[in-house]
Structure 1
Amino acid sequence: MKPKPKPQAEFGVPQNYFKASSLNALANSGRAKYRQLAPTLKAIEEQYGVPASIVVAIWGRETGFGEAALPHDAVTAIATQAFMGRRPDEFRPQLIGALKIIELGHATRKMMKSSWAGAMGHTQFLPGDFEDYAVDFDGDGRRDIWRSVPDALASAGNSLRSQGWDGKQPWAYEVTLPKNFDCTRQGPDQALPIKEWIDLGVQRVKGRPFPKDRLGDWTFLVLPAGMKGPAFLATTNFSVLKLYNNSDVYAIFVGHVADMIAYDTPVDFVGTWHPVERFTRGRILEFQKVLVSQGHDVGKVDGLVGFKTRQTIGKEEKARGLPLTCYPSHALINQVLK
């Protein structure tokens, strides 16, 4: 019997992911860590060009600043995914990487405690991440993401920088959309320069102007809850954050908490996270399969509501005369599955 994957909050109801109590608690702890580790974080930021607040926010989200229990043996967890999980081809190289970490003396197997999927250390690296991005920042001759906070945080900074972080851009801008805006225009495949979004009526929240020297930057619209939540114009850095965890809400959460840490003040979303209808992953998977059979491109058929699926939902809502939301509803899914 295949192991049942643990549900991930990143793929649940968006509203539940952004509880104010969780955001404030993480930001408050993050500010304390920021002050405590200021010299180290400043050095990491200078070397890798990634804001220290982003690195601290990732640390907080991944392991609660190293306090989260990591109860699994990494080798066992990865081996289980490699031979019995949903993505065996992705995890088999990770298993080899885990064994190499032990063979080369970077860590003992006892040290290699992990999440259910084999992610290790303060900032949750898989073995492949360790091989590619782990660094010895404290100068003790070891790349130790398990016991050395400087090594772990610098490794996260190196990971982001190596995968394309642009130090001249923010992670995203929260925006407001004009009335009756077509939400199918979301996603990286429909990126435009900021100045062209402005021409379409997209505005930065609270009347803030976009930086004049960034109006030529290509950005794309992110609507993680369709028209039932805040809207964002995402930069290259948003896509880099998704390489750390391939989820829109994860990237927004990390970026938002980083802003709260950096500005040392509560930073509220202007848009409201409205309640949305709930579905099992299996139901969305069935829905995606039918849409694909009808010629739609929903991206990966995986039971998750990614931007391509949200685009397609909007197209189907328009075709069927339903309110345009670009987010799943029982009314739409029932019609499609009939």
Structure 2
Amino acid sequence: MALAVSLTALFPPSPARAADAVATYKKAVEAQFAQWLQGLWPEAEAAGVSRKTFETQLKGLKLDWSLPQLEPPDPAYPGGPAMPQAMKPKPKPQAEFGVPENYFKSRSLNALAAGGRVKYKQLAPQLTAIQKQYGVPASIILAIWGRETGFGQAALPYDAITAIATQAFMGRRAEEFRPQLIGALKIIQLGHATRAEMKSSWAGAMGHTQFLPGDFEDYAVDFDGDGDRDIWSSVPDALASAGNSLHSQGWDGKQPWAYEIELPKGFDCTLQGPDQALPIREWIDLGVRRVRDRPFPEERLGDWTFLVLPAGMKGPAFLATTNFSVLKLYNNSDVYAIFVGHVADMIAYNAPAEFVGEWQPVERFTRDRMLRFQEVLVAQGHDVGKVDGLVGFKTRQSIGEQEKKFKLPLTCYPSEALVGQVLKAASAQ
């Protein structure tokens, strides 16, 4: 066996044989995909999709092998052809998890804010009406529009049906996409859009404000009064749909999205996260102050807020309101919510791109190393949230607890001094 492996490495298959192997494998996977699609019929029928729509849109559908975040089956099916070596991912430098500061480059923030102000002048009557109806500031809706599609200028090159079906069959989050495929069929059947109009991102998000089919079903509205819910070509419909989405999921028009704050020296950063929310007045009692010596609104001192430290004690700090959590329902990321909220403030109040809190240098880790670190913490009984190699608030809380244990400076952000000790201790057991 060792000799065979060595010979294979020394004498790889000819290009023609390699191409034949790829074609054979893909043909086998496509056959499995066709069977899988037919197996969706009972679920689609129960959801109200007609047989005509089902057959017309899915018959002969092929996988889009170019999409990111795919995990093709290996082998193609039990006992079937294995994935050819030529198709297997080539070794790459391990990716780092995202450093929060990189999301907030002044050039990008200023460009989006400037674009948002231009759009506000162009669409003031519609935006005013949307804000009045849904209670969501026009600046927030503009910031989402700018972030998602560059105010409608971003290319959406994919066929939504193909993209969603491919992700539902062999994507990393396949089960999340399965109901979206049925939702996409319903959009076509009900005449909301044609197949040709349903261009999307690689993940099947559509229109100016990037709705998945489920979002469309739940939140899309006809705001321009033409009888259609059109998030693809009607800007008023798309922006109002985003407003309706936020409003329906709990946006409170009396609160901001968050307050940037300053923490007292020696503050316990493990107090961050929505599971440790307190009224603003109690944060004040703990020494928390709003930046630029601005007072918190007197009428809001009873509002429950929670601490968000995207870079632990090595970056800006925020007291987040319910609205921050609503923004995360649009895209489940702390930095996304901060980005949208901050750009909205820049649009509405001409706020500067820079936060008052400074981003300090942080150590960099590969996502695989951080994933292993999380796995060890979970094995020790810590709740790190999703074990995904990313540093969410629960992972930051756990880091702080470990820093206390090892008597390291309290930062609630990964350092080699901590990660190395935790992994070394785990490997010694």
| TM-score class, shorter | over 0.9
Offset at residue 84 of structure 1 (A): 1.0
Matched with 1:110 is 196
CA separation of 1:67 and 1:259: change in aligned 2, threshold 3 A? same
| Code of the aligned partner of 1:59 | W
Matched with 2:361 is 275
Task: Write the deviation string for residues 60-113 of structure 1: whole angstroms up to 9, x where unpaired.
Answer: 000000001111111121112212112222111011111111111111111111
Matched with 2:207 is 121
**Out of 302, 315, 318, which is 2:401 matched to?**
315
State the alpha-carbon separation in 1 of the partners of residues 315 and 306 from structure 2.
16
Alignment of 1:4-83 (within 5 A): 4-5=68-69, 12-83=98-169
**Out of 315, 331, 335, which is 2:417 matched to?**
331
Residue ranges of structure 1 left out of the alignment (5+ in a row): none
**Out of 262, 274, 291, which is 1:205 matched to?**
291
Aligned length: 335
Larger radius of gyration between Structure 1 and Structure 2: 2
SS at match of 2:397: helix
The yes-or-no answer on 1:305 pairing with 2:396 is no
So what's the TM-score if we normalise by structure 1? 0.96
Matched with 2:274 is 188
Matched with 2:55 is none
| Code of the aligned partner of 1:108 | T
CA separation of 1:275 and 1:81: change in aligned 2, threshold 3 A? farther
* 305-314 or 109-118: bigger deviation: 109-118
State the alpha-carbon separation in 2 of the partners of residues 256 and 49 from structure 1.
18
| Code of the aligned partner of 1:5 | Q
Checking the alignment, whether the CA contact within 8 Å between 1:94 and 1:128 is kept in structure 2 is yes
Offset at residue 282 of structure 1 (A): 2.0
Offset at residue 250 of structure 1 (A): 0.5
Checking the alignment, whether the CA contact within 8 Å between 1:135 and 1:155 is kept in structure 2 is yes
Matched with 1:257 is 343
State the alpha-carbon separation in 1 of the partners of residues 339 and 404 from structure 2.
30
State the alpha-carbon separation in 2 of the partners of residues 158 and 275 from structure 1.
39
State the alpha-carbon separation in 1 of the partners of residues 186 and 364 from structure 2.
42
SS at match of 1:226: strand
Checking the alignment, whether the CA contact within 8 Å between 1:15 and 1:275 is kept in structure 2 is no
Alignment of 1:132-151 (within 5 A): 132-151=218-237
Offset at residue 265 of structure 1 (A): 4.6
State the alpha-carbon separation in 1 of the partners of residues 159 and 365 from structure 2.
32
Task: Write the deviation string for residues 208-237 of structure 1: whole angstroms up to 9, x where unpaired.
Answer: 000000000000000001111100000000
Task: Write the deviation string for residues 33-78 of structure 1: whole angstroms up to 9, x where unpaired.
Answer: 0111000000000000000000000000000000011111111211
Task: Write the deviation string for residues 115-139 of structure 1: whole angstroms up to 9, x where unpaired.
Answer: 1111110000000000000000001
SS at match of 1:31: helix
Checking the alignment, whether the CA contact within 8 Å between 2:109 and 2:353 is kept in structure 1 is no
State the alpha-carbon separation in 1 of the partners of residues 281 and 319 from structure 2.
12
CA root-mean-square deviation = 1.6
SS at match of 1:206: helix
Offset at residue 279 of structure 1 (A): 2.1
SS at match of 1:225: strand
Checking the alignment, whether the CA contact within 8 Å between 1:31 and 1:264 is kept in structure 2 is no
State the alpha-carbon separation in 2 of the partners of residues 98 and 276 from structure 1.
42
Checking the alignment, whether the CA contact within 8 Å between 1:259 and 1:267 is kept in structure 2 is no
Checking the alignment, whether the CA contact within 8 Å between 2:207 and 2:231 is kept in structure 1 is yes
Checking the alignment, whether the CA contact within 8 Å between 2:142 and 2:344 is kept in structure 1 is yes
State the alpha-carbon separation in 2 of the partners of residues 207 and 22 from structure 1.
27
Offset at residue 196 of structure 1 (A): 0.2
Task: Write the deviation string for residues 278-326 of structure 1: whole angstroms up to 9, x where unpaired.
Answer: 2222222111111100111111112221100000001011111222111
The yes-or-no answer on 1:223 pairing with 2:309 is yes
Checking the alignment, whether the CA contact within 8 Å between 2:110 and 2:353 is kept in structure 1 is no
Task: Write the deviation string for residues 127-156 of structure 1: whole angstroms up to 9, x where unpaired.
Answer: 000000000000111100000000000000
Matched with 1:85 is 171
Offset at residue 4 of structure 1 (A): 4.5
Task: Write the deviation string for residues 165-214 of structure 1: whole angstroms up to 9, x where unpaired.
Answer: 00000000000000011100000000000000000000000000000000
Task: Write the deviation string for residues 250-296 of structure 1: whole angstroms up to 9, x where unpaired.
Answer: 00010000011111353531001223222222222111111100111
SS at match of 2:306: strand
Structure of greater relative contact order (alpha carbons < 8 Å, 6+ residues apart)? 1
